[in-house]
């Protein structure tokens, strides 16, 4: 087995690493200051400015096919990029992307939604989660009823990433209650000016989700994405598009955090000796290093499966579960090594602490990942140690 990266993968990784160090990390102090003043730490204007700067070097649409102006990179390279972006808590991502299910759009919809989104002219959000339908996506209660040539949507969505900024939503609603999720749920492309509203949800971190309110929102039948009744299949396609990218970003955060802990252990003196000489500290560093390497290969293996055309859902669930749990353990150790200073807002560790906690909840909770993994084993879809295939 060859674990080496190709020349192109190394070049891409190194360019992004340099970009993050030169362009993104210098913004961290400003971002923290703004967040702690109750403002938005990283503005859309600054994000677009950096995205365009990266675009000048050809970094645009990492996973977007080349025929749409993207780079069309493989999944492993995309994971390597996400690791580098994760080295900073500044919520920056490269531009030129669109939700994978938007590529199911018909010709007219591509002109109105897909292409402007890739170009950065429009912003979308994926709206499926509801107050009573989080991980249980089959329990959707938002409805859409036919009225002439339109559909009228009523209901509420919650914890929608990008919902406050989006100008259109991919909203999932029940169109045939008798058929249930399989055949009874449809995805609609609903522009904000059609009448839906968003309300910010305050969280312990800087992730700013929204509640979306649909009160008799009229959407033309031409705005159905895919087919009537085909929404649940699209939703599962979206959810499974890149779970490996979430722990990949956490991996970059953990690498930087442990680097900070190593530096702290060498410079912090207690009882006449650096705390790096204490076995308790050494074991924290050692355990973190082992877990980082384990996470690296879980992430890259899941991405490799995607590139091979193998069903990667099981491997992605393993990577996300392990990444969420271990990232939280690692940041906790790093905070502990920094002692009281780690708990203060003078250092960014508490910021990472709050941010990484989210990884165990969104895009499938730890419990959902365990359920998925266990069901695959119990139903014989995979064997213990046999998912290498």
> Mean pLDDT, 10 residues at a time, over the chain (389 residues)?
92 97 95 86 88 95 94 96 96 93 94 95 93 74 93 96 94 90 91 96 86 97 94 83 90 98 97 96 98 97 93 93 97 98 93 94 91 93 70
pLDDT at 243: 86
CA distance 226 to 82: 30
CA distance 260 to 272: 21
Element (H, E) at 296: helix 279-307
Domain with CATH 2.40.110.10 in the chain: 103-109+122-238
Range 241-378: architecture per CATH: Up-down Bundle (1.20)
Domain with CATH 1.10.540.10 in the chain: 7-99
What are the b/e assignments for 99-114, b being 16+ CB within 10 Å? bebbebbeeebbebbb
Select from 1.10.287.110, 1.10.40.30, 3.60.21.10, 1.10.540.10 the CATH code of 7-99: 1.10.540.10
Select from 3.90.870.20, 2.40.110.10, 3.90.420.10, 3.40.50.10300 the CATH code of 103-109+122-238: 2.40.110.10
Query: Which residue among 108, 263, 363, 367 is the active-site one?
Result: 363
Contacts for 196-199 with beta carbons within 8 Å, 24 or more apart? 196/153, 196/169, 196/171, 198/160, 198/163, 198/164, 198/166
pLDDT at 383: 83
pTM: 0.92
pLDDT at 135: 62
End-to-end Cα distance, the chain: 14
Q: Is residue 255 among the annotated active site residues? A: no
CA distance 327 to 106: 40
């Amino acid at each position: 087995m060859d674990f080496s990266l190709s020349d192109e993968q190394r070049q891409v990784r190194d360019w992004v690493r340099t970009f993050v160090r030169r362009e993104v990390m210098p913004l961290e102090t400003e971002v923290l200051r703004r967040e702690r003043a109750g403002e938005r730490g990283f503005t859309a204007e600054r994000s677009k400015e950096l995205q365009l700067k990266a675009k000048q070097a050809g970094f645009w649409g990492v996973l977007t096919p080349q025929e749409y102006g993207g780079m069309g990179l493989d999944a492993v390279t995309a994971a390597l990029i996400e690791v580098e972006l994760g080295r900073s808590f500044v919520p920056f991502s490269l531009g030129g992307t669109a939700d994978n299910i938007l590529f199911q759009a018909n010709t007219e919809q591509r002109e109105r939604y897909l292409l402007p989104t890739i170009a950065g002219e429009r912003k979308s959000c994926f709206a499926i989660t509801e107050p009573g339908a989080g991980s249980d996506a089959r329990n959707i209660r938002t409805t859409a009823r036919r009225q002439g040539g339109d559909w009228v949507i009523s209901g509420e969505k919650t914890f929608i990433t990008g919902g406050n900024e989006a100008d259109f939503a991919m909203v999932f609603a029940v169109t045939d209650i008798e058929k249930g999720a399989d055949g009874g749920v449809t995805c609609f492309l609903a522009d904000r000016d059609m009448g839906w509203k968003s309300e910010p949800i305050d969280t312990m971190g800087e992730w700013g989700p929204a509640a979306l309110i649909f009160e008799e929102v009229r959407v033309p039948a031409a705005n159905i994405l895919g087919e009537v009744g085909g929404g649940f299949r699209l939703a599962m396609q979206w959810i499974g598009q890149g779970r490996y990218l979430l722990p990949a970003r956490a991996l970059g955060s953990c690498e930087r955090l442990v680097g900070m802990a190593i530096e702290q252990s060498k410079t912090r003196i207690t009882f006449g000796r650096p705390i790096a000489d204490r076995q308790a500290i050494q074991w924290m560093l050692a355990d973190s290093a082992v877990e980082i390497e384990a996470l690296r290969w879980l992430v890259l293996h899941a991405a490799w499966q995607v590139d091979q055309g193998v069903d990667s859902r099981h491997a992605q669930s393993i990577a996300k579960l392990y990444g969420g749990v271990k990232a939280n353990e690692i940041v906790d150790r790093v905070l502990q090594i920094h002692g009281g200073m780690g708990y203060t807002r003078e250092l960014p560790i508490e910021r990472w602490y709050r941010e990484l906690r989210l990884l165990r909840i969104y895009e499938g909770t730890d419990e959902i990942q365990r359920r998925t993994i266990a069901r695959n084993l119990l139903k014989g879809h995979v064997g213990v140690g046999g998912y290498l295939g």
